[in-house]
């Protein structure tokens, strides 16, 4: 109990430190863009109004991500997250997430999607949607303009698989073993906003659905994240 309390205290301390830094940038963006929108409105400069409205939306989305990840982490650590497995239209879910994230794509970025096998997958749609949101948003953030993000999925008798492939900066080899740790961020991502909680939460969600996650990455070339969810509980033990 003492060890658990110590870990919880450390977790809260690290979150406060992270939040104080991560909240400052989007809040400053919202404040400055809101002021500029007011001045551009007086001049009927609709192009700049749209530009700064988008900046505000992006900043608010970043804030929402931080809060969502911390709340998700709290529920996981307290054992309050239980999977609700349902028959789910997997291609429809991927397309829904893609539609929601279009505004986040950088100039020239595009997404291709291929699915094989049955459309219906037995999984928790809310947890799996969080997985998709995180993996795709990472692919967007860490990839350059005019790059392609590929998503492959399949539903077979014994497993559900997902791949998210980007052409981004890749993960330094020295950092790869720590990638799913709480609050960890790779050395080459210091200038890109993030909490270091996303992949830790994704891994826990996938494990709750009887699955595994892994990746292959080459710095300067790109990264592939793969997910396997086993419909037969025995299979995970054998893998």
153: pLDDT confidence band, cut at 50, 70 and 90? very high
3-state secondary structure of 133: helix
Residue 228's closest CA among 182, 173, 215, 217?
215
125-141 and 198-208 helices, crossing angle to 10°: 150
Evaluate whether 98 touches 113 at the Cβ level (below 8 Å).
yes
Contacts of 109 (CB under 8 A, 6+ apart): 140, 143, 145, 146, 147, 148, 149
For residues 141 and 91, what is the distance between their CA atoms, to the nearest angstrom? Answer: 23
Q: Would you state the pLDDT for residue 239?
A: 44
pTM of the full structure: 0.74
The backbone torsions φ and ψ at residue 26, rounded to the nearest 5 degrees and listed phi first, read -65, -35
Centre a 10 Å sphere on the Cβ of residue 222 and count the other Cβ atoms it contains.
Answer: 22
* Tokens, residue 157: 């008798």
Report the C-alpha gap between 193 and 212 in whole angstroms.
26
Least confident interval from 34-38, 192-196, 228-232: 192-196
Pick 220 or 232 by higher pLDDT.
220
Q: How far is CA 214 from CA 76, 116, 144, 146, 183, in A?
A: 20, 20, 23, 26, 18
Residue of 162 and 15 predicted with greater confidence: 162
Could you tell me if 162 and 151 are in contact, meaning their C-beta atoms sit under 8 angstroms apart?
Answer: yes
pLDDT in tens, 115-130: 999 999 999 999 999 9
Q: Please, what is the end-to-end C-alpha distance for the chain in angstroms?
A: 33
CA 67 from centroid of its chain's CA atoms: 13
Beta strands in the chain (DSSP E): 86-89, 110-117, 120-123, 148-155, 159-165, 211-218, 222-230
Answer yes or no: is pLDDT of 162 > 80.
yes
């Amino acid at each position: 109990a003492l060890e658990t309390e110590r870990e919880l205290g450390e977790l809260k301390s690290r979150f406060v430190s992270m939040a104080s830094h991560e909240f400052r940038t989007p809040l400053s963006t919202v404040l400055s863009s809101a002021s500029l929108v007011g001045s551009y409105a007086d001049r009927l400069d609709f192009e700049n109004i749209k530009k700064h409205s988008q900046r505000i939306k992006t900043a608010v989305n970043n804030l929402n991500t931080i809060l969502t990840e911390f709340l998700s982490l709290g529920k996981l650590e307290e054992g309050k997250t239980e999977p609700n497995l349902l028959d789910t239209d997997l291609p429809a879910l991927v397309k829904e997430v893609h539609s929601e994230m279009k505004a986040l794509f950088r100039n020239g970025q595009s997404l291709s999607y291929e699915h094989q096998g049955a459309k219906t997958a037995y999984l928790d749609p809310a947890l799996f949607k969080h997985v998709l949101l995180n993996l795709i948003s990472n692919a967007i953030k860490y990839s350059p303009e005019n790059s392609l993000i590929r998503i492959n999925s399949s539903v077979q008798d014994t497993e559900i698989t997902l791949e998210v492939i980007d052409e981004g900066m890749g993960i330094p080899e020295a950092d790869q073993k720590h990638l799913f740790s709480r609050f960890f961020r790779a050395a080459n991502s210091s200038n890109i906003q993030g909490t270091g909680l996303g992949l830790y939460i994704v891994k826990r969600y996938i494990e709750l659905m009887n699955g595994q996650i892994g990746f292959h990455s080459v710095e300067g070339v790109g990264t592939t994240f793969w997910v396997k969810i086993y419909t037969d509980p025995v299979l995970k033990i054998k893998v």
